Chain A
Amino acid sequence: MALDSAEPEPKRMKTSNKIEEKLDEYLKNMKSATWNLTPIVEEDLYKPIPVVQASVGIIRDPKDISKTILTLNDKVPMKELQHLKRAQKKEIVICPLSYLNGAKIEEYLENNVKELKEVFEEFKVCDVPSRPPQVRKQFEESNKVWPCNFHPNKYNEKLVSGSFYNEQELKTHRQYMEMVFEVTKFYMKGLTATNIDSDKILRNLNTCVVVDPSIQSVVAVCFDNRLKHPVQHSAMLAIDNVAKTQNGGSWVADREKHETIDSTLRGIDEELCCHLKEKFPQVKFGAKKFKSKRDMSEEELQGNDIGPYLCTGYYIYLLNEPCVMCSMGLVHARAKRVFFCFNNSEFGALKSKVKLQTITALNHHFEAFTGFL
């Protein structure tokens, strides 16, 4: 063969590398990250508050201001604009323009609040903030449009501050995310692909680490099995493995896998478990001892808190933004926080396609964070 070509072919650009190396690169970048994690919240928290038009009357005699406000609060309560202060010097909000139904403001007063017919010397239409400000920045901006009431909310301020976690917390979260990468590496061992392909492969699987922050301990570690079973994405497997630590669960792992027999950490491959314990000697493994109403007598339960219950209070760490199925599974499981590294532009349900955590109609809401890289 060598004789056929006098010169060796120049090395092709499309060289294949180990996927592990790609993961190591990400790991290196994550370890050197200096920035905070990003909470994923409804856009409304960051955006300026939109305005709506309202009919405003200018009081003839300032002595009438308080009486007029009382009358208006009684007769025209403006349910949707409760956050507005009714008066700004001599100007008083009578109602949103939409209440007039095209009629003139004078007619509206005549029909609804006759007693105020004479107190205004003129009328105008003003822009007013359409929603209550949720954070101080919005409050300050809204006040320039029309004076508002504002109830400061420490949590909301923290969300938009860009410094949600302190150094120590960031170290902890990054460590569990490192574990997510380490698990992925474990299952990608020996696989090679071009740069583009390895990114594709990594986006089409997921890895999940579940932590109980109250005892700072890993309670489940799962790698994807979606090729063999389209519902067995890692988060769904993790929810089932958590169930196994609570005397439940329904999926039986592949026979060739050697699961740990440790009942506080079910469903994890023995070999992987050893590898992780070696790699992260400072990390604790295993769930709290499970206590249930169903398995204990009244006396045994006396003075004992029951639990853990599903994933209540647990933190979920994922390589990729979870899909709709997994995200809703985590809502059902009542996870407390979900962390992920890469966006899932096609099916992501915490940031990319929808933000399930912000749908108020649902009965449970976790917090979602990203920005590891």
Chain B
Amino acid sequence: MEEFMHRALQLGGEALQAQEVPVGCVFVVDNKIIAESRNRVNETRNPTRHAEINCIDLVIEYCKSKNLRHDYFQNITVYVTVEPCIMCAAALNNVGVKEVIYGCANDRFGGKTVCDVSKIYSNNYSLSGNLLADEAMALLKLFYKGTNPLAPDPKCKKILKE
């Protein structure tokens, strides 16, 4: 289990290098990684391109190429460094993965912590957290020390400068 989370953390590190919110994710079937990705929000200028969504895209491509139906998602265990946000929690429900294991909790957008998405869907994946949480949190802290390079300057910041 830890080896998959280590790989996800590595991908999160790549995100940090690319000045993205450092979240990484791997999709695992039968102890094999079948898709892996990281946050690509700034790169694509699309705020929904979280690591999980990117992995879902890869699996859909994979299914298409192998002529598999989308119920293939039922075999997937997701390892993600940070608790999936409300959007990703719902997306993982839409595709119907088997299990989600995350590193640290997500106090800002968490699909369990901020708004419990599992209460809305009837067939839920099993969700557990706290696997290598400190490492995941350390990555986030590194990022939030810096600032988002693409965001417009907030007005209050300008006033402070003067």
Assess whether A250 is in contact with B114, with CB atoms less than 8 Å apart: no
> Contacts A361-B114, A362-B109 given: A328-B151 contact, CB under 8 Å?
no
- CB contacts (< 8 Å) of A306 on chain B: these are 152
Assess whether A243 is in contact with B44, with CB atoms less than 8 Å apart: yes
Stretch of A20-28, A31-39, A191-199, A229-237 on the interface side: A229-237
- CB contacts (< 8 Å) of A334 on chain B: these are 47
Assess whether A294 is in contact with B150, with CB atoms less than 8 Å apart: yes
Give B41-70 as 1s and 0s: 1 = Cβ < 8 Å from A's Cβ atoms.
001111111000100110010000000001
Give A329-373 as 1s and 0s: 1 = Cβ < 8 Å from B's Cβ atoms.
101111000000000000101000110100101110000000000
Taking the closest CB of chain A, its distance from the CB of B21, in whole angstroms, is 11
Give Cα A347–Cα B91 distance, bound, in whole angstroms: 12
- CB contacts (< 8 Å) of A293 on chain B: these are 149-150
Assess whether B150 is in contact with A328, with CB atoms less than 8 Å apart: no
- CB contacts (< 8 Å) of B151 on chain A: these are 309
CB within 8 A of A329: which of B43, B44, B48, B107? B48
Assess whether A328 is in contact with B85, with CB atoms less than 8 Å apart: yes
Q: Which residue of B lies closest to A307 (CB)?
A: B152
Give B130-162 as 1s and 0s: 1 = Cβ < 8 Å from A's Cβ atoms.
000000000000000000011110000000000
Chain B interface residue number, banded? 20 to 34
Give Cα A246–Cα B150 distance, bound, in whole angstroms: 12
Taking the closest CB of chain A, its distance from the CB of B112, in whole angstroms, is 13
Taking the closest CB of chain B, its distance from the CB of A105, in whole angstroms, is 40
Q: Which residue of A lies closest to B117 (CB)?
A: A324
- CB contacts (< 8 Å) of A324 on chain B: these are 86-87, 89-90, 117, 120
CB within 8 A of A231: which of B46, B85, B86, B91? B91
Is A97 in the interface zone, CB < 8 Å from B?
no
> Contacts A309-B150, A309-B151, A332-B87 given: A239-B109 contact, CB under 8 Å?
no
Taking the closest CB of chain B, its distance from the CB of A229, in whole angstroms, is 6
Is B38 in the interface zone, CB < 8 Å from A?
no
Assess whether B70 is in contact with A249, with CB atoms less than 8 Å apart: no
Is A130 in the interface zone, CB < 8 Å from B?
no
Assess whether A231 is in contact with B57, with CB atoms less than 8 Å apart: yes
Is A292 in the interface zone, CB < 8 Å from B?
yes
- CB contacts (< 8 Å) of A332 on chain B: these are 47-48, 85, 87
Assess whether A361 is in contact with B120, with CB atoms less than 8 Å apart: no
> Contacts A239-B47, A361-B108, A362-B109 given: A292-B150 contact, CB under 8 Å?
yes
Taking the closest CB of chain A, its distance from the CB of B53, in whole angstroms, is 6
Taking the closest CB of chain B, its distance from the CB of A306, in whole angstroms, is 6
Find residues 65-106 in chain B having any chain A CB closer than 8 Å to their own CB: 70, 85-91, 94-95
Taking the closest CB of chain A, its distance from the CB of B158, in whole angstroms, is 13
CB within 8 A of B45: which of A249, A323, A356? A249
- CB contacts (< 8 Å) of B44 on chain A: these are 240, 243, 248-250
- CB contacts (< 8 Å) of A53 on chain B: these are none
> Contacts A231-B91, A324-B87, A324-B117 given: A236-B48 contact, CB under 8 Å?
yes
Assess whether A356 is in contact with B48, with CB atoms less than 8 Å apart: no
Is B18 in the interface zone, CB < 8 Å from A?
no
Give Cα A250–Cα B57 distance, bound, in whole angstroms: 10
- CB contacts (< 8 Å) of B95 on chain A: these are 230-231
- CB contacts (< 8 Å) of B91 on chain A: these are 230-231, 325
Give Cα A243–Cα B94 distance, bound, in whole angstroms: 23
Taking the closest CB of chain A, its distance from the CB of B8, in whole angstroms, is 20
CB within 8 A of A353: which of B47, B107, B120? B120
Is A88 in the interface zone, CB < 8 Å from B?
no
Assess whether A329 is in contact with B45, with CB atoms less than 8 Å apart: no
- CB contacts (< 8 Å) of A78 on chain B: these are none
Taking the closest CB of chain B, its distance from the CB of A204, in whole angstroms, is 12
Give Cα A239–Cα B44 distance, bound, in whole angstroms: 11
- CB contacts (< 8 Å) of B114 on chain A: these are 359, 361-362
- CB contacts (< 8 Å) of B90 on chain A: these are 323-325, 328, 347, 349
Assess whether B45 is in contact with A247, with CB atoms less than 8 Å apart: yes
Give B11-49 as 1s and 0s: 1 = Cβ < 8 Å from A's Cβ atoms.
000000000000000000000000000001001111111
Taking the closest CB of chain A, its distance from the CB of B45, in whole angstroms, is 3
Residues in chain B within 8 A of chain A (CB atoms): 40, 43-49, 53, 56-57, 60, 70, 85-91, 94-95, 107-109, 114-115, 117, 120-121, 149-152
- Nearest 9 Cβ contacts at the A-B interface: A248-B45, A328-B87, A325-B90, A324-B90, A332-B47, A243-B46, A328-B86, A243-B45, A250-B44
23 A–B contacts, CB within 8 A, in A order: A230-B56, A230-B60, A230-B91, A231-B94, A231-B95, A248-B44, A249-B45, A250-B49, A293-B149, A293-B150, A294-B150, A309-B150, A309-B152, A324-B89, A324-B90, A328-B109, A347-B120, A347-B121, A349-B90, A359-B114, A361-B107, A361-B108, A361-B114
Given contacts A230-B60, A349-B90, 11 further A-B contacts (CB under 8 A): A231-B56, A239-B47, A240-B48, A248-B45, A249-B45, A292-B150, A325-B87, A326-B87, A328-B87, A347-B120, A363-B109
